[in-house]
Amino acid sequence: MLTLVHRARPRLVRFTSDHTFAPALAVLIGLGGCVPTYHGARASHFVSGPPLLDDAPSTQRVAQSAISSGALPPSAKATDDLGAIPVGLPQVIRACVLSDPRILAALESVEHARAEHTTASLLPNPSLLVSRTLVPLPGSPFNAETRQGGPPQLDIGLSYSLDTLIFGTRSAAMEATRLGVDVAFAEYADVARQRILEAIHAYYDVLEAREILRLTREEVEQLGRLHSLTERRVQLGGIGTVELDRIRVALSGGRRRLLRAKAKLDNARSRLRASLGRAMGAERADADGTLEIDSPPAPPDLRSAMQLAEEHRPDLLALQRQVVRLRADLTREQRTAWPSLSVSAGYTRQFQKRAIGFPDASSWGAGLEMSLPIFDRNQGNIARAQSAVRQAELLLSAAQIDLRAEVEQAIRDYNVAYQLVSTLDEQALAAASSARQRIEEAYGLGGRTLLEVLDAQAAFREVFREHVEARAELLRALHRVNAVVGTEVLR
């Protein structure tokens, strides 16, 4: 049984032949896809269920967590590539989530935002001043009789800035950076959503290309049998040599289609393996599954899909949180316009005895330092923050407009694929296959012409190709609807 083992160093998902079950399930995978549950103002997830990561995910926790395999038993018909590792769709998505460099890079952005929040949460450091002043020049010491001076003194002062606490600059910065963590996590969830959808499409592309390759191989084998039959009939004088030339042309065309089908399957496998990221064994992974679907779900309602998309699309949530964060940035810039304020206290020791003849003395002092915001009241940064808020609001409006068009298109594409699959007649496929076989047998007995055989083959090839493409497109469209909406609306 296939197992994925995620290790801390390096961050790799390993395909092995052992079966392990890790107590910590780092990723919840469903056939509808997955992205992390977003614990912000509103949830953002691709499938319902436990979250992929926490609200504040840690790359170290992700690296150290393991996942259960849930692998499908390898099938003898799963792949025609010797040495390949058959992987099901859940394994593909798990490997994508845990090993795709782009997803991991987006997760690091969350860590960056958390670091900024930590920095903004820190209290300002006090300032320490130690100085020695009024010290005589070398070779000219002070004395009480002829060279009074100074007296030298040692000053020790401690100052602390209060403006970040009194005027709310620190609390505004903390709120802005906290919202920045929410924005970064929503953006990470959106990267995961897109990359997972690409992995799902690559998975079904492999299954589709494999079925087309199998069909093309059968076609070439049958054309080879027809070529042998035609040669015998020409030798017996039953037909002319023109029929032999015709079957040679058809066989050559079939071989060209076979080469293209092989190349298409290899390309699909390359895309699938690329979607697995740095997973160990990804270079030998191959899709394991079928395109058959018993009862596809009906297309969803546009209005309900739009409501779900507005609540769950992570990129839309990221823009919404971005508007809120930029408003918090505006508040921070407005509070920065207040004067800087700091208090200080100090100790002074005067060394008077040698310099002026008086005993040494100690004293203390306190002070208040404040800037006067007469000219610079942070006008430029405030204006820039106001512009950033307006820009983010416009981008959010544009995204909401584009979202409706995207949801409409995804549902429309699924509806077309759904109707195509619903109108496909399994009996027509069986009839085309039976007709092809009977006509070929009749041709061998001299009861049919070569053109009739080739027409029967072309008809079967067209029906079977439509059968494969329609089911593959239905499954891709199903997952595309779920990805566009941001949650599972089609199971």
Which DSSP string do the residues of 413-470 spell out, in sequence order? HHHHHHHHHHH--HHHHHHHHHHHHHHHHHHHTTSS-HHHHHHHHHHHHHHHHHHHHH
Encode pLDDT of 446-474 as tens digits.
666 777 778 777 888 888 888 888 899 99
* Residue 91 pLDDT class (50, 70, 90 cuts): very high
What domains sit in the chain, N to C, each tagged with a CATH number? 3-122+169-332+382-485 (1.20.1600.10), 127-167+337-370 (no CATH)
**Pair 66, 26: CB distance under 8 Å:** yes
pLDDT digit string (tens) for 110-147? 999 999 999 999 999 999 999 999 888 888 888 877 78
Among 31-35, 79-83, 295-299, 444-448, the range of highest mean pLDDT:
295-299
Averaged confidence pLDDT in the chain: 80
- Side chain identity at residue 394, one-letter code: L
**pLDDT at residue 306 greater than cutoff 70:** yes
Task: Say if CB 45 and CB 486 are below 8 A apart.
Answer: yes
- Residue 88 amino acid letter: G
Q: Is the pLDDT of residue 300 over 50?
A: yes
CA distance 491 to 158: 66
Residues with Cβ within 8 Å of 295's Cβ and at least 6 positions away in sequence, in order, are none
Give the model's pLDDT for residue 50: 29
SS3 state at 334 = helix
- The SS3 assignment for 340 reads coil
Model confidence at 16: pLDDT above 60: no
**Which stretch of 1-10, 215-224, 338-347 has the lowest confidence by average pLDDT?**
1-10
Whether the predicted pLDDT of 43 surpasses 90: no
**Pairwise CA distance, residues 52 & 36, whole Å:** 4
CA 352, CA 370: separation in Å to the nearest integer? Answer: 33
For residues 38-57, average pLDDT? 33
What span, in angstroms and rounded, lies between the C-alpha atoms of 129 and 171? 28
**pLDDT greater than 70 at residue 23:** no
Residue 82's pLDDT band, with cuts at 50, 70 and 90, is low
Q: Cα dihedral sign for 253, 255, 261, 264?
A: negative
How confident is the model over 412-418, as a mean pLDDT? 93
For 88-145, the DSSP string reads -HHHHHHHHHHH-HHHHHHHHHHHHHHHHHHHHHSPPPPEEEEEEESPPPTT----SS
Contacts of 387 (CB under 8 A, 6+ apart): none
Mean predicted confidence (pLDDT) in 167-181:
92
Q: How confident is the model at residue 444 (pLDDT cuts 50, 70, 90)?
A: low
**Average pLDDT estimate for 246-263:** 91
For position 165, what pLDDT does the model report? Answer: 87
* Of residues 167 and 226, more confidently modeled: 167
